[in-house]
């Protein structure tokens, strides 16, 4: 799969986006880092 677009979204909206499996660990790490 390829990335179709890049955009800034609030952390609380990240779970609603259609992530591919390979991106999930990165998304989780970003959320954990930013939620401190």
Q: Where are the domains of the chain?
A: 9-36
Write down the H helix ranges in the chain.
24-34
Q: How far apart are CA 35 and CA 25, in angstroms?
A: 15
Contact of 27 with 14, CB cutoff 8 Å: yes
Cα 19 to Cα 11: distance, rounded to the nearest angstrom: 14
Given CA atoms 18, 21, 8, 3 in this order, what sign does their dihedral have? negative
Rg of the chain over Cα atoms, rounded to whole angstroms, equals: 10
**1-36 confidence digits (pLDDT tens):** 567 788 899 988 988 998 889 999 999 998 899 987
């Amino acid at each position: 799969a390829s990335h179709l677009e890049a955009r800034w979204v609030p952390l609380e909206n990240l779970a609603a986006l259609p992530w591919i499996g390979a991106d999930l660990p990165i998304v989780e790490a970003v959320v954990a880092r930013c939620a401190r």
